[in-house]
Chains A and B, each alone.
Chain A
Amino acid sequence: MATVEDHHVARMAALALGLSVVEAAVPSPLPGVKPGLANIVTLIVLARYGWRTAAWVSLLRVVAGSLLMGSFLAPGFFLSLSGALCSLLALAAVRRLPPRWFGAVTHSVLAAFAHIAGQLLVVYFWLVPHAGVAYLVPIFAAAALVFGTVNGLVAAHFLRAGLDAFSTEARQQGTAA
Chain B
Amino acid sequence: MFFANIDPGAHIKTGDWLVLLGGALFTVWLALTLWQGGAADKAIIRSGGKIFREVPLSRDQTIAVPGPLGISTVAIHNLQARIASDPSPRQYCVHQGWLKQAGEIAVCLPNQVSIELAGAQKKYDSLNY
Contacts and interface: CB of A to CB of B under 8 A. Distances in A.
Given A106-B19, A127-B112, 6 more contacts: A102-B13, A110-B19, A132-B105, A133-B107, A136-B105, A138-B34
B64 interface: no
Interface in B65-98: 90, 92
Given A31-B92, A135-B103, A102 B27 contact: no
Interface size class, chain A: 35 or more
B14 A101 contact: yes
Interface of A: 31, 75, 97-98, 100-106, 109-110, 113, 127-130, 132-138, 141-142, 144-145, 148-149, 152-154, 156-157, 160
B34 A135 contact: yes
Nearest to B46: A130
Closest 4 CB pairs of A and B: A101-B15, A156-B11, A138-B31, A102-B15
A153 B15 contact: no
B11 A157 contact: yes
Interface in B110-124: 112, 114, 116
Contacts of A105: 11-13, 16, 19-20
A145 B23 contact: yes
A128 B49 contact: yes
Contacts of B23: 109, 113, 141, 144-145, 148
A134 B34 contact: yes
Contact of A138 (B27, B37, B92): B27
Contacts of A113: 23, 26
A135 B105 CA distance: 7
Given A132-B116, A157-B5, A138 B30 contact: yes
Q: Which of B16, B103, B107 has the most chain A CB atoms closer than 10 A to its own CB?
A: B16
A163 to B, nearest CB: 10
A164 to B, nearest CB: 13
A133 B105 contact: yes
B6 A154 contact: yes
A75 B92 CA distance: 15
Q: Which of A100, A138, A154 has the most chain B CB atoms closer than 10 A to its own CB?
A: A138
A134 B5 CA distance: 38
20 contacts: A75-B109, A102-B13, A102-B19, A104-B11, A105-B19, A109-B20, A113-B26, A127-B109, A127-B112, A128-B49, A130-B49, A132-B107, A132-B114, A134-B103, A135-B103, A136-B105, A138-B34, A142-B31, A148-B23, A153-B12
